[in-house]
Amino acid sequence: MTTIDDAKRAAGVEVARLVEDGMIVGLGTGSTAAPAIRELGRRVRDEGLHITGTPTSFASEILAREVGIPLCDLSEIDAIDIAFDGADEVDPNIDVIKGRGAAQTREKVVASLARRFIILVDESKLVDRLGAQMPLPIEVIPMASFPIKRKLEGLGAEVSLRMGQRKDGPVVTDQGLWILDANFKPAISNPEELDHVLLTTPGVLDHGLFLGLATDVFVGKADGSVEHRQR
């Protein structure tokens, strides 16, 4: 029986096949992006593929180094040929919510520089409307967390400060900031308007709504196949 992990692996292998010699590749974060990074490492080792990766988090940087992918910093490049990442939700427009791994800000920077930005998911991540299954992560300056929480509650969200596991206190992002998780039930009514409100709220660095950024979605299915959707 094919598992969710098998579906993620199939999607990762599929996107790794699109990478060509000389490309600069944005390396995503999380359990869906990791198989793609490992497959790229195999191609570098076994096929002599020459690429340069730019990671979206410390975790993806560590994995890329482990599998032998050469890396560069964003200060060294002007654009990214292809980037891939997982997502928490994908709607029919290929807009997504990301950020369960608390890396959404760096992921969005990399996505914005990519000529082609590919989302890798299994079927469980497909939704009719964003926010139907997962909360929206919002990265905030710690001293502003309570005013922002109250503002979100005024917009109808249930909001919680994301707490660390196996540690005391909140999750701390790679930028040293905190994450508020906002549940809008039954879903986010107007993602574009919410995007504007959040980005004009003092104390918000960024959030997990990725609107108009993804060009493709690879959906790993239970039977081991991969469905390719394009914007």
pLDDT beyond 90 at 10? no
Which CATH number covers residue 150?
A: 3.30.70.260
Structural domain of residue 55, as residue ranges?
Answer: 4-127+211-230
Which CATH number covers residue 79?
A: 3.40.50.1360
Q: Which residue has the tokens 């879903």?
A: 187
| Cα-based torsion angle of the residue sequence 180, 166, 26, 69 in order, rounded to the nearest 10 degrees | 170
194 and 215 fall within a common domain: no
pLDDT digits (tens, 9 = 90+) for 86-111: 999 999 999 999 999 899 999 999 99
pLDDT digits (tens, 9 = 90+) for 158-173: 999 999 887 778 999 9
Identify the band that residue 1 occupies on the pLDDT scale cut at 50, 70 and 90: very low
Identify the band that residue 36 occupies on the pLDDT scale cut at 50, 70 and 90: very high
Q: Nearest Cα to 39, choosing from 23, 19, 21?
A: 19
158 and 77 fall within a common domain: no
How much is the average pLDDT of 141-170? 94
- Residue 2 CA to residue 222 CA, distance in Å, equals 6
Identify the band that residue 2 occupies on the pLDDT scale cut at 50, 70 and 90: low
Amino acid identity at 57: S
Beta strands in 75-177 (DSSP E): 80-85, 89-90, 96-97, 114-122, 136-140, 158-161
122 and 170 fall within a common domain: no
* pTM confidence score: 0.91
14 and 71 fall within a common domain: yes
How much is the average pLDDT of 149-156? 97
Active site residues: 107
- Residues 136, 199: contact at Cβ < 8 Å? no
How would DSSP label each residue in 154-187? HTT-EEEEPBPSSSSSB---TTS-EEEEEE-SS-
197 and 224 fall within a common domain: no
223 and 116 fall within a common domain: yes
Average predicted confidence (pLDDT) for the chain = 94
- Residue 121 CA to residue 85 CA, distance in Å, equals 9
- Residues 35, 17: contact at Cβ < 8 Å? no
Share of the chain above pLDDT 90, in %: 83
Look at the chain and report how many structural domains it folds into: 2
102 and 19 fall within a common domain: yes
